[in-house]
Structure 1
């Protein structure tokens, strides 16, 4: 579902922002239902999975402070927004995937960008927190505590369902092969990619990456982009178009043009994917991967280091410039060590 993201940045207070979010959710249900009816009328299979774009309820935070944005726009784990989206999934008998900012009672001063999957029973069955972000907190910034609480299963979750093994990749994380591979090594068959990115008639780096992640992991990629972002100073169509479904051979099965649309839809052939994964051959990239070759290089932790928000045993509240400063320090260290 390629839908417009509606920014809450200009909302006068928390109550107004929350009301806008609920209005957006209320508009999503009828659009999914109408799209499902249209697909079936034109010979398609019954819709079992709908994927929403990145931060469709709120848009990006802008320069709002982290605590203020958490209060204004981040969802509570069992909050009314999840309940309302759960009702859509339950009423329409489908899996609903999306992306939102979310608070966590274990880290009350922060928020995390979260990809979620809601099952047909209305419950959240998968919750993945974005691990690589330039301007926002991630689990890696509180890594030692996050691992203690959630373990590696909570870092790279895979939901095993009747429509396949689902995993989520957030936004620009499609550019990082390791994140997709970690999910695939844990059994993922379908990557759900909620994004808000530049659309183009030319192949952008993210479009190329979607095909690469699909082929190298023998997975489907379902990528839902925004249909623009409203109520910000950016031109509305800056992040619009090119939602797509890519099969496990890296072939684009369907791709949308610009604007609000459901036209990136396709059948998912799990049988063919699973047969390909079980067949020896040059193209079985997943089974041919020799992970032990690389373990020492990755374990060296020479690049962006963890726990940047843990200070004296507590959680530091960062300002927006913190993350840029960490990136600058990382680059300086790598340059000093002769690694870049």
Structure 2
């Protein structure tokens, strides 16, 4: 397997329309294909399309990553039935087949995120991050582990944990099943999605599974305006000594949002937590950065500030000994409307009350 020690990663900042009918998917897909093809020319060593060269660029574009919901937009006006019947897709399926054909033609690894309907749970949707390799094959799938409980009617694997492990976990540990990492010529790639990145444990989970490059797409407006997106990307990269490729939505076109509610700030961060490149504004665009795999591996070989090697796991096991948010919390019931999202609410489930009782939280005077 040829290893690309030095290559370019591109984070695409999309501006899709809100999809409520399946035929609308085609508009977003076609635009994604146009952007994907142009991504080869987003780098400092870009060449004109018809220019003939007999050498390999020093850092060829080998990884292109799209943000969360780049094919489907984001809506809170559709119930679960509409999501399943009109918005959700199968992976692989017709949409990913078109993406795969272009990825194969370009010789790149392509990352995307889409709302997926799985045959094992035909009445639910999962938020799926996927990687397509240069052969046009889907080599990696990750289902968002921690959807935002007040904004998403997607199902977390944790909500159907026992069934999920039975379907996908044969011969693997729970950690490998829920936070998979794929070994590629671009390094070992792990993925988390948006809200997952506000939990440092999930950055750690993919790093413990071997990840060197962590793709963390988002649909994050408050995360940008409050600085959370940058903070968590940089902290996650430094704590795990990993590259973080973080494409965010640049805007959503539809009747229920301000166009730039999703405020961009897509970025690529290196293993020292330094921003390699970013788009510090909303709107459609892309940003490229150089990944130096050998440098990362040399950095990880040095014991100085080698944070993953300093983990005191015996103590940390006690930190996580008590259940906080329970598995299979909705008892197999799918959330069908946004009005029902309270059923996942940590106050409704009694989680916050238990934290008061344990002394983890201090109860406010007015509660």
TM over 0.5: yes
Measured at CA, do residues 29 and 240 of structure 1 come closer, stay the same or move farther in structure 2, by a change above 3 Å? same
Question: 300, 311, 314: which one pairs with 1:292?
Answer: 314
Question: 314, 334, 337: which one pairs with 2:355?
Answer: 334
Per-residue deviation, residues 85-134 of structure 1 (Å, max 9, x unmatched)? 11121111101111111011111221111111111111111100011111
On the 8 A contact 2:39/2:64 being kept in 1, the answer is: no
**Number of residue pairs aligned between Structure 1 and Structure 2:** 326
Question: 292, 295, 298: which one pairs with 1:269?
Answer: 292
Counterpart residue number, 1:14: none
Q: Which has the higher contact order (CA 8 A, sep 6+)?
A: 2
Per-residue deviation, residues 159-195 of structure 1 (Å, max 9, x unmatched)? 1000111111101211110001010000001111111
Bigger Cα displacement from structure 2, 147-156 vs 46-55: 147-156
Say what the alpha-carbon RMSD is for the aligned residues.
Answer: 2.0
- Separation of aligned partners in 2, 1:272 and 1:158: 20
Shift of 1:44: 7.0
- Separation of aligned partners in 1, 2:58 and 2:197: 28
- Separation of aligned partners in 2, 1:59 and 1:69: 12
- Separation of aligned partners in 1, 2:359 and 2:226: 33
Asked if 1:27 is matched to 2:57, the reply is no
- Separation of aligned partners in 1, 2:309 and 2:357: 38
Counterpart residue number, 1:150: 168
On the 8 A contact 2:251/2:260 being kept in 1, the answer is: yes
* Superposed counterparts of 1:218-233, under 5 Å: 218-233=241-256
Asked if 1:259 is matched to 2:280, the reply is no
Counterpart residue number, 1:211: 234
- Separation of aligned partners in 1, 2:39 and 2:334: 43
- Separation of aligned partners in 2, 1:99 and 1:200: 18
SS for the counterpart of 1:166 is: strand
Counterpart residue number, 2:46: 41
User: Counting helix residues as a fraction of each chain, which structure ranks higher?
Assistant: 1
Measured at CA, do residues 67 and 202 of structure 1 come closer, stay the same or move farther in structure 2, by a change above 3 Å? closer
- Separation of aligned partners in 1, 2:103 and 2:352: 44
TM-score by length of 1: 0.90
Unaligned ranges ≥5, structure 2: 1-11, 48-56, 362-367
Asked if 1:114 is matched to 2:128, the reply is yes
Measured at CA, do residues 124 and 56 of structure 1 come closer, stay the same or move farther in structure 2, by a change above 3 Å? same
- Separation of aligned partners in 2, 1:197 and 1:48: 25
Question: 279, 294, 306: which one pairs with 2:327?
Answer: 306
